[in-house]
Amino acid sequence: MPRAATTRRWWPTPRRACPRCSSTWSMSRAWPRSNPPDLTTTAGVQDAGSFPAFAIHRAKPLNSPTSPQIAETIMAEDSLTEHWVCLAGGNALGAFHLGAIEVLLDAGLPVRRVAGASIGAITAALWLGGPREMAKQRMRAFWARAVDRSVFAGTRPARQTSALRALLGGRPWLFNPTLPGIWAMHFLAPNDDHLHSTALMRQTLAELIDFDHLNNGETRLIISALDQETSEDVVFDSATTRLTVDHLMASSALPLIFPPVRLDGRLLVDAGLSANLPVTAIFSDPPERNTVCWAIDLWPPTARRAPSPDTVARRAQDLMFAAQSRHALERLTEALSPRLQDAGIGVAVHHLGYDGGDWEVAAKAFDYSRAALERRRRAGAAEMTRVLSGHAPLQGGGFSVFRHVLEN
């Protein structure tokens, strides 16, 4: 499969004129830690108007003018087909979700069910946790708080430093070092089971997400987590459970880095350790009509041979999560296809995903640099548009998987 055109790498400058309006933004401006603008309101969006390109133009559609026409064609051909979205975990790689979902929002494609793990669960809750017309604002507000605003963050050494800084020093409004934290490894220090506190993340999500809207909305949200003590997968479904910020914190509680979350008598950690792409969770209640599932992954299944320690470390992470996704889809195909064929129900899973190739650093999941987040967002938008434009109506019953993940 030919690789889509790569995103042009841009290098930050101290000030830059916006290509879509007359405003400019300053690379060095930062919110005071105690009083960030409220980006869930129109006034808050206007207050953030001089922020970097990643945090402005929230009310305007992405430059993908073909998306509405694509969606109109899909809905005309598949008027009785449901559309589901499945979002994988990957921490800072989740900016790819932002671009992909913006295309879905611009297209107006009706989505009936969404499942997410880790950052995928957070993205899904931001998407669905409020009025649809403000969904972009909520998602971009989250990433605007997370971004590393280092001026030279486009260079590889700077992105490696950005990832290391996040691992050791945290990210404003997401997580920060705690005590004893890393010092717990010293024999004189008290024990601790995590390096960072996620109180800031909890506060950020509570501010951005309307959980009443989320739980009462038409779109069903499924969040997955993992029981640290029994290794059992745990699934929370808005159809049967009132979802709260605790469920999001549990789904994204990466062991050692973040603290586990006790919920309903279980000690829960990041779902990505078991089912990073929660396709099993979203299909645990099989569809009753023709369904298209857009499964948005963050870890490439294929790559060239890794020639250096940095690329070996990066590829090891890819393999761990990509293999999970492949095995889960294979098991679902084997389990559901005969049953769906007998019922005359067709299911198509479009498995697309992000492949940053050699551009990404080993600790890419903690690279919150401006260049990395913007590159991933643009890649998500381009890939979602490409996959939507190639979608064909379902024919016949069964369970089919179409892999669109780019190869190196």
DSSP string covering 332-344, please? Answer: HHHHHHHHHHHHT
Q: What is the pLDDT of residue 408?
A: 40
Q: Among 22-31, 41-50, 168-177, 178-187, where is mean pLDDT lowest?
A: 22-31
User: Which domains are seen in the chain, by residue range?
Assistant: 53-403 (3.40.1090)
The residues that bridge with 369 in the sheet, in sequence order, are 148
CA-wise closest residue to 221 among 201, 203, 240: 240
Is-contact 195 186, C-beta < 8 A?
no
pLDDT above 90 as % of the chain = 56
CA-wise closest residue to 387 among 52, 138, 66: 66
How far apart are the C-alpha atoms of 137 and 269, rounded to whole Å? 28
Q: Is the pLDDT of residue 400 over 70?
A: yes
DSSP category for residue 53 = G
Q: Which positions are annotated as active-site residues? A: 118, 270
Query: What average pLDDT does range 233-239 have in this prediction?
Result: 97
* Tokens linked to 61: 């559609």
| H or E element in which residue 262 lies | strand 261-263
Q: How far is CA 260 from the centre of its chain?
A: 20
Query: What average pLDDT does range 145-166 have in this prediction?
Result: 85
CA-wise closest residue to 280 among 248, 341, 325, 343: 325
Distances (CA, A) of 46 to 104, 154, 316, 368: 24, 27, 42, 24
Q: What is the pLDDT of residue 195?
A: 81
Q: What is the pLDDT of residue 205?
A: 96
Q: Which residue has the tokens 């105690």?
A: 34
Greater model confidence, 122 or 170: 122
The end-to-end CA distance of the chain, in Å, is 10
For 77-124, the pLDDT digits (tens) are 556 789 999 999 999 999 999 999 999 999 988 999 999 999 999 999
> What is the pTM assigned to this prediction?
0.81
How far apart are the C-alpha atoms of 43 and 305, rounded to whole Å? 50
Query: What average pLDDT does range 353-379 have in this prediction?
Result: 92
